[in-house]
Structure 1
Amino acid sequence: MTPNPVPRRRTTRLARVITAVLGLLGLVAATVPTAPPATAHPLPWSGSWVAAVQEPSVPPWGTPNWSVEGFTDQSVRQVVRTSTGGVAPRIRLANTYGDTPLRLTGASVGKAGDGAAVHPGTLRPVTFRGSLSATVPAGAELTSDPVPLPVAPLERLSITLYFATPTGPATFHERATATSYRARGDHRFDRSAAAFTETSESWYFLSGVEVVAPGGRDAVATFGDSITDGVGSTVDADNRYPDELAERLVAARRPLAVLNAGISGNRVLNDSTCFGEDALSRFHRDVLDEPRVRTVIVLEGINDILFSEFGTEPCMLPNPEVSARELIEGHRALIRDAKARGVKVVGATLLPVQGEFVDSPRVEAVRDEFNTWLRTSGEYDAVVDLDRVMADPTDPDRMNPAYDSGDGIHPNDAGMRAMAEAIDLDTL
């Protein structure tokens, strides 16, 4: 199939504008499209959006995904929302769980319209070390050159990746709570959504969007499981609690990025083939190694307590009974690692789960003991008591029905908003 033409004239003109802006800021701007390697840019990059990546899998719940089959002669268009803006973005691709090099034929970035559509005049080619194509080594990540496209806070970007040759199984993020789109052939520069007839609710190979934004440590990471990931909120509405927190910060004119490092089903102490590496293993990669992180909010542990109730479901294994003491020791390790990097660490109590289908007296006892430690120990720099915020006023072990998505454990849009509103912005 003949590739769509690259809009070179418009890109070149805007590249000069971006270069001039960066020069006025006293920064060294990269040329487009012949930029040097990303590691050579002395520019103040800050994370604006992230996805914590997982190995290819098909979990027992959720929606079907394309991770195991991968892509061949296909374009994948993914829509993400930035938390902060900047004069130029760059994207990060992950082949973390790939056994072979990932060959990307080309990519584009534009400002998202409805569905898979892109606003006219905003599509830009993405280059990697000056080349329109790129190879991401097995087990590695690759960051693009700056893209000449100013980005506003809370702006939705449409990122399209085209793979002419087979990718093999795809490193991905399973529960995006957002729609991704697939088309046969090269449709990087299609403004229309017409070719993108297949959909998925996962993100593929895309692990981050960074922006050029002068400042110091200005990113807040939210680290956790499906509740942080946004399960239970409306698909494509950007109502996850980290999204709501980002909106509060923008409204308060506090230019802090919010990076969502949640993975559905994730646990502190045990990993699985379906729900990501355990929190202790992935904390450095997904939080501490992100640029300019100043604070992390940790909400994780309920799956450690619940999964032993599931029996021998393969995705849950290993699933030993976890005590409050074991879970506390896991959190202490996260606290130590964060403080060693100079990152402030905020602990969130575990939400009510009574009524969830595998709840039990043991689950409640462990959750209560852990929450008491988190509230009273003083080991976290600050605490947000989401357990009490989200509880039913008539039964503190149950989620408030007004906040319940329907399964007794995941908040709905109103619940996600209540969680974000419970966070004292001064602690960030």
Structure 2
Amino acid sequence: MPENYSKWVACWGNATSITDRKEATYAKDLTLRYPIRACFSGNKLRFHFSNLTGTEPVTISEAYVAHAASNSPDYSPVAITFCGNTSGTIPAGEEILSDEIAFNVCAGDTLDVSLYFAGFTQMNAGTAITGPLSGGKYSYGNFAKSVALPDDLTRNTNWIYFLNTIDIFTEEKNFALVCFGDSITAQDWPDYLTLRCARDGFNNVSIIRRAVSGTRILREYSCITYAAYGLKGATRFPIEMNVAGAKSVIIQHGINDIIHPVGVEVNKFRPWSDMPTADDLINGVRTLYVSHARKLGLKIYSGTLLPILGWRTYNENRDIIRMAFNEWLRTAPDFDGCVDFDKAVRGYDNPKAFANNFDSGDHLHPSAKAYEAMAECVPEELLK
């Protein structure tokens, strides 16, 4: 294994937002396990845990990382520690960083990150993501060090609780590309981009997902019905750009600002006064995203908004706003380039709609095939 490791780079990352408000918001005696694909080789790891949207402290009773049994005959969990302790408490509204731990990783390895919560735990900080590399499991009981979780006490989950980012001590040439957005990015295309990088030999880039379903650039909800739609851009972006080794960010955000307002006579939480103009969205991206990314020295790539013809709140005015905003995203000198997702998935005969087999069925979210097309359209210059 090379000895020229010289810097920390995020090799996996997720956003942290408000979880969906269900009848039960607490857990006890719970194990969470998340399989993580390591894109880089390295010899140390550190883990970011977030309780950003929690209102109570959360104590991680035990935490471990291990080479997954599928790629290692010897399942040997290594404790993740906090100031030398095997448990750590995340204060309400804050994030914590684990100790650095010695752990040899080869690019392509799958790691199991397992967390155990012994006491009553407010499960208020997490984000749902999907894709061929995303998801995890939860079990009732303490199985954090077990090679296999018991079938009768275990279920799959797409909610990632508390685990926010994993950094690896790796080679100088490696870097991170951040994908920032809403449900379109919380779903599959960042995973397909990771697989494309592995397939095509772009071995020096990690794809870090910072996405929350339902989020808007300009506003957020204050009711439990839509709490999981998350924090607004002004709050999210400075926090989520805390990414070690980041070089560039793709921003694909704004469609929820356009499609959500329906008037208080239809939904008291979605007044017409929330409806933005294209200029509102442009000014929001400039002031909230571009200015902060430039301060961090990041290259910034815009991502165009996808077709919405047929979506349940579709009307011509909404699409006029979307197309005007897209035109700015394609041409504005504010950006280092544009990733034209809209062009990659829209129909040839009717560009206001998805191409054949590219619509998931709700006329807003792409199909798996379309998510693959989105990953394929990312310019190579961002991956080299």
* Same fold by TM-score greater than 0.5: yes
Q: Residue in 2 aligned with 1:44?
A: 7
What corresponds to 1:103 in structure 2? 59
From 193, 197, 222, the counterpart of 1:249: 197
Residue segments in structure 2 that go unaligned for 5+ positions in a row: 222-226
Does the CA-based 8 Å contact 1:120-1:191 persist in structure 2? no
SS of equivalent to 2:249 = strand
Q: Is residue 2:167 matched to residue 1:214? A: no
Q: Aligned pair in 2 of structure 1 residues 368, 294: CA closer, same or farther (>3 Å)?
A: same
Task: Provide Cα deviations, 1:53-91, integer angstroms capped at 9, x if missing partner.
Answer: 012333xxxxxx79x523212212223334434223222
Change (3 A) 1:375 1:179: closer
Measure how far apart 1:378 and its partner are: 2.3
Deviation (angstroms), 1:346: 0.2
Is the partner of 1:327 in helix, strand or coil?
Answer: helix
- Provide the rounded CA distance (Å) in 2 between the counterparts of 1:298 and 1:176: 18
Equivalent residue, structure 1, for 2:244: 291
Q: Does residue 1:360 correspond to 2:309, yes or no?
A: no
Q: CA deviation at 1:419?
A: 0.9
- Identify if the C-alpha distance between structure 1 residues 267 and 323 changes in structure 2 by more than 3 Å, giving closer, same or farther: same
- 1:183 equivalent among 127, 131, 139: 139
Deviations 1:297-332 (A, max 9, x none): 010111110001386557767971111110111111
Equivalent runs, 1:315-330 vs 2, <5 Å: 320-330=274-284
The answer to whether the 8 Å contact 1:74/1:183 transfers is yes
Change (3 A) 1:319 1:222: farther
The CA deviation at 1:103 is 1.5
Q: Does 1:400 align with 2:361?
A: no
| Pick aligned residue for 1:152 from 94, 106, 120 | 106
Q: For residue 89 of structure 1, what is the aligned residue in structure 2? A: 45
> Structure 1 residue 354: deviation in Å?
0.6
Equivalent in the alignment of 1:76? 32
| Paired position in structure 1 for 2:209 | 260
Secondary structure of 1:403's counterpart equals coil
- 2:233 pairs with 1:279: yes
- Shift, 1:386, TM fit: 1.5
Query: What secondary structure sits across from 1:399 in the alignment?
Result: coil
How far residue 121 of structure 1 moved from its aligned partner, in angstroms, is 2.1
Q: What do the CA deviations read for 1:93-142 (whole angstroms, capped 9, x no partner)?
A: 1121223322211111223457xx99642432222222211122222212
Other-structure match for 1:307:
260
**Structure 2 residue aligned with 1:34:** none
* CA deviations over 1:210-230 (Å, ceiling 9, x no partner): 111121671110001111111
Mean CA deviation greater in 262-271 or 377-386: 377-386
Distance in 2 between the 1:281 and 1:132 partners?
A: 31
Contact 2:139–2:149 (Cα < 8 Å) also in 1: no
For residue 392 of structure 1, report the CA deviation from its aligned partner.
0.8
Decide whether the 8 Å contact of 1:108 with 1:189 is kept in 2. yes
Q: Where do 5+ consecutive residues of structure 1 fail to align? A: 1-20, 28-42, 59-64, 231-239
Does the residue aligned with 1:149 lie in a helix, a strand or coil?
A: strand
- Cα 1:48–1:316 change in 2 (3 A) is farther
CA separation of 1:339 and 1:179: change in aligned 2, threshold 3 A: closer
AA partner of residue 225 (structure 1)? D
What RMSD over aligned residues (CA atoms) do the two structures have, in Å? 2.6
| Aligned residue in 1 for 2:224 | none
CA contact (8 A) 2:62 2:87 kept: yes
User: Is the CA contact 1:217–1:294 (under 8 Å) kept in the aligned structure 2?
Assistant: no
Q: Percent identity?
A: 26
Are residues 169 and 313 of structure 1, via their aligned partners in 2, closer, same or farther at CA, if it must alter by over 3 Å?
A: farther
Output the TM-score relative to the length of structure 1. Answer: 0.80
Question: Is the partner of 2:236 in helix, strand or coil?
Answer: helix
Task: State how far apart, in whole Å, the 1-side matches of 2:206 and 2:76 are.
Answer: 23
TM superposition shift of 1:261: 0.6
Matched with 2:124 is 170
Secondary structure at 2:261 match in 1: helix
Give the corresponding residue for 2:19: 56
C-alpha change, 1:82 and 1:412, in structure 2 (3 Å) is farther
Deviation of 1:281 after TM superposition, in Å, equals: 1.7
- SS in structure 1 at match of 2:274: coil
**1:136 & 1:327 partners in 2: Cα distance?**
34
CA distance in 2, matches of 1:211, 1:145: 12
Q: Which amino acid aligns with 1:309?
A: V
Comparing 45-54 with 376-385, greater Cα deviation is found at 376-385
In structure 2, what is the Cα distance between the partners aligned to 1:313 and 1:112? 47
One-letter amino acid of the counterpart of residue 26, structure 2? G
- Say whether 1:372 aligns with 2:327: yes
> How far apart are the structure 2 equivalents of 1:355 and 1:113?
45
Q: Is the 8 A contact 2:263 2:271 kept in 1?
A: no
